Structure 1
Amino acid sequence: MINGENPNAFKSVLSNGLTVIGRQMPSLSSVAMGIWIGAGSRYETAKINGISHFLEHLLFKGTKKRSGEQLKQAIEGVGGSFNGFTSEEATCYLVKVVNKHTSLGLDVLSDMVKNPLLKEADIEKERRVIIQEIKMYEDLPSHYVHELFGELLWPDHPLGRNIAGTLQSVSSIKRKALLDYWEEYYQTGNSVFSISGNFKKETILSQIEGYFGKIKKGKRKKFLPAKRKINHPQIKLNFKETEQAHLCLGGIGLSRNHPDRYTLELLSTILGGNMSSRLFREVREKRSLAYAIRAESHQQHDTGAFVVSAGVAPERTKEALRVILKELKKIKEKNVSPGELKRAKDFLLGQLTLSLEDSSSYMLWLGSQQITEGRTETFKEVKDCINRVEEQDLKRIASLIFQNSNLKLALIGPLKNKEELFSFLKL
């Protein structure tokens, strides 16, 4: 069992040191599984920025046993889904199948991570694909503004770089660097296998041992710790002739290990987490300043971010900033009502409850925590943390995060006067 919460939840270690974490969900017909590697953009130097993501793409191109097409056909041919993703702190390859095809899913995933070909021709093809991916997101200001915001929060640090890399770094990564990276990071001490759905525990552990038990042993890899924040407001303005001004306003938040991280999650929910939030009401409903506006809290192992994002008419940018900043100031000066706090708690717990009814979401919940923190919070632990938060806690954390010295603004749009924007950047 995991922390004694649920008899259907378990954690085990294979003979080669690979950690397996899972939960049986016998009422379902599916099984979702993922192999997680402790390799992401914050493990990279500037020279090889994007290599974790590059390697993730390449593992879908073929193995010693299957071509890229055969990998996809094996899973999709039985109605399953097949994907991968790279974040700052991990890479994950995941499969979801009807439970009678569990063995096939295990076979395909293990084949990918153990036996990639990394052929020169595939590397050159995928290099061109990734370059187009980078250019695509640079052409999407609502996405790219978040990249600029990250550069403000963590300048000259891997966390402030694009997960996909830059045009220059991706163009220069060679096959040897990819092979070396795979050899160094794709080993048991740096990996986790997570699984949830309809299976028998002893049977699945035996199967996982059979498919993954020969992955080479190794040790957990380390990344560069987050640097201390810059203690003054900053603006990054990217002039572009767009119909909207796209902005990210916020600052350094709390880490995944911080005892008040759920307090900040509740603040984010109250400010801009749903359609009944303060910013949605003030910015969209009352003033029609934006179609999309939201507030979010993002956590990494040793740092985090709080961000309000929106797309507004360029000529109303200053008005939108004024309203957003007014709401941030208000929530740190005046207690949230008990009713509003209760609604935020119920929203977070309700959303988590609904997501964990799905085998894929539960697999991701387990694996993402285990690979980054080495442990998994139970639902009860999360619920207790959220329910312990009181009105004065919100005010305390708002006062900690929403300070002039912590304010960062990234903006893309037809605006040039940075000094004028600075005059608004005050709480």
Structure 2
Amino acid sequence: MSKKYTLDNGLVIVGEEIEHVNSVSCGIWIDAGSRYEDEYTNGMSHFIEHMLFKGTKNRTAKKIAEEIDNLGGHINAFTSKETTCYYVKMIDEHIESGIDILADMILNPLFLDEDISKERTVILEEINMYEDSPEDLAHDMLFEMIYKNQGIGRNILGTRSSLQKIKRENMMEFFYKYYVPNNCVISICGNFDFDNIVKLIEEKFKGWNNKKDKNIDINNCNFNLGVITRNKDIEQMNLCMGLEGIGLESEHIYALSIANNIFGSSMSSRLFQNIREEQGTVYSIYSYLTLNKGLGTFNISSSMSEKNIYKVYNSIINEIKLIKENSLTKEEIKRSKEQLKGNYILGLESTSSRMMSMGKSQILLNKVNNPKDILNKINNVTDDEIDYIIKSIFDKDKIAISVVGKNSENLSF
């Protein structure tokens, strides 16, 4: 069972004590990501994530790495569309050191000009790496088209142009706007005492002042249709398709997840069985949900040879048509519920995954769901609700498309 405590400065702490393990995972979540950026600050959240590892007033970048390594721990971070998270995983007896390092990174970063210049080059190389991954590129292109000129559609890494414009002064402005305690959550899971950890965190972050006039809003986004392509001299075509979905807070998430399991998210799904196993026209094909505050997309990704792209595309369209016309059978729904519950439970088998689940839920939804409540919600999804969400989402005439591959500019859908 999770516990929650809010410090006087507005910093929320959520935790789950698990006595039978010997580790603790702790993450600091900031409500900041590419959704909050414009064309001039695009890539800022991710850039700042990199900079916090470049040294503090108390530790060099090497010292941060050495302290964690010498204790047998692990430290890392990631930036998403809506959040940034810095996290450690340690043997339980060393968690105080891990929290001290995280607090130092958040409260005392240096942001030296020479480090900013070096890390800009590192991120440019990161962009090159992702552009060499056609599947990732197709997904990013799809989002950039669907949410054109909107923060949620901008690439988390930024662009080569936007990165060149980021200077220390506007980086600091962004940092002090979003890195405030009442815009953050600390999530912790493992073998620890919650009351003692609250006291420790309160001591480590006592100098972190909140922003009383915090007013960080996100706007509603428009979903745009269209086709976007990128020529790349590679052996396969990478096709990504998107339909307008539902937001993270929607009551229909579990109904759509059940439908997604049957449609394309597993090896027993319709997409995999019909298009890969029976037709043999693809190696990779699957569907997945992208869930954000107030909006989402239902995505389909596949890769195939150039000669098969129209056959695969038409087969996907046919599967969309069939599921909308016929929905799911009772047996399919029953199997999908069990699969969804199993995946959820297995996903909570480590302290890291539980910490991630709690932190993400608290920072985005302002609550932590009890695992038993989640399982009950899955069980209680009705056939009528599944019919409703399928008819709402699966529309073959309202699909956005991106393609990466050789001669892709000649395609017509």
TM-score band w.r.t. shorter chain: over 0.9
1:396 aligns with 2:396: no
Query: Counterpart in 1 of 2:412?
Result: 421
Matches within 5 A, 1:314-333: 314-333=306-325
Cα distance in 1, alignment partners of residues 58 and 261 from structure 2: 48
1:39-91 deviation line (CA, Å, top 9, x unaligned): 10011111010000000000001000000011011112111111000001110
Cα distance in 2, alignment partners of residues 31 and 417 from structure 1: 50
Cα distance in 1, alignment partners of residues 272 and 140 from structure 2: 23
Judge conservation of contact 1:23–1:195 (CA < 8 Å) in 2. yes
Query: Counterpart in 1 of 2:254?
Result: 262
Segments of structure 1 that go 5 or more residues without pairing to the other structure are: 1-5, 423-427
1:136 aligns with 2:129: yes
Query: Counterpart in 2 of 1:248?
Result: 240
Alignment match of 2:57 (pick from 55, 64, 67): 64
Judge conservation of contact 2:324–2:395 (CA < 8 Å) in 1. no
Most deviating of 35-44 and 340-349: 340-349
Q: Once superposed, which parts of structure 1, at least 4 consecutive aligned residues long, lie more than 6 Å away?
A: none
1:313-370 deviation line (CA, Å, top 9, x unaligned): 1110000011111111111111312221112111111111112121000100010111
Alignment match of 1:236 (pick from 228, 231, 244): 228
SS at match of 1:389: coil
Q: Partner amino acid for 1:277?
A: S
1:29 aligns with 2:22: yes
Most deviating of 84-93 and 145-154: 145-154
Judge conservation of contact 1:153–1:252 (CA < 8 Å) in 2. no
Alignment match of 1:226 (pick from 182, 198, 220): 220
Matches within 5 A, 1:275-424: 275-416=267-408, 421-422=412-413
1:209 aligns with 2:202: yes
Query: Counterpart in 2 of 1:425?
Result: none
Cα distance in 2, alignment partners of residues 203 and 277 from structure 1: 47
Cα distance in 2, alignment partners of residues 344 and 77 from structure 1: 45
Cα distance in 2, alignment partners of residues 37 and 339 from structure 1: 42
Query: Counterpart in 1 of 2:86?
Result: 93
User: Percent identity of the aligned residues?
Assistant: 36
Judge conservation of contact 2:231–2:409 (CA < 8 Å) in 1. no
SS at match of 1:35: strand
Cα distance in 2, alignment partners of residues 171 and 140 from structure 1: 23
Alignment match of 1:81 (pick from 56, 74, 80): 74
Judge conservation of contact 2:26–2:186 (CA < 8 Å) in 1. yes
How many corresponding residue pairs? 412
1:259-300 deviation line (CA, Å, top 9, x unaligned): 112111111111111111111111111111111111001110
Aligned-residue offset at 1:405: 4.5
Judge conservation of contact 1:225–1:302 (CA < 8 Å) in 2. no
SS at match of 2:345: helix
SS at match of 1:117: coil
Cα distance in 1, alignment partners of residues 133 and 222 from structure 2: 30
Q: Partner amino acid for 1:217?
A: N
1:124 aligns with 2:117: yes
Q: TM-score, normalised by structure 2?
A: 0.97
Alignment match of 2:188 (pick from 192, 195, 199): 195
Cα distance in 2, alignment partners of residues 391 and 290 from structure 1: 31
Cα distance in 1, alignment partners of residues 251 and 191 from structure 2: 34
Aligned-residue offset at 1:387: 1.4
Judge conservation of contact 1:42–1:223 (CA < 8 Å) in 2. no
Alignment match of 1:146 (pick from 127, 135, 139): 139
Query: Counterpart in 1 of 2:178?
Result: 185
Most deviating of 256-265 and 360-369: 256-265
Cα distance in 1, alignment partners of residues 321 and 199 from structure 2: 56
Cα distance in 1, alignment partners of residues 26 and 247 from structure 2: 27
Aligned-residue offset at 1:417: 5.7
Q: Partner amino acid for 1:382?
A: I
Segments of structure 2 that go 5 or more residues without pairing to the other structure are: none
Give the root-mean-square deviation of aligned CA atoms: 1.4
Query: Counterpart in 2 of 1:160?
Result: 153
Query: Counterpart in 2 of 1:51?
Result: 44
The 1:421/1:266 distance shift into structure 2, 3 A limit, reads farther
Cα distance in 1, alignment partners of residues 162 and 254 from structure 2: 36
Cα distance in 1, alignment partners of residues 67 and 199 from structure 2: 22
Q: Partner amino acid for 2:166?
A: I
Most deviating of 43-52 and 204-213: 204-213
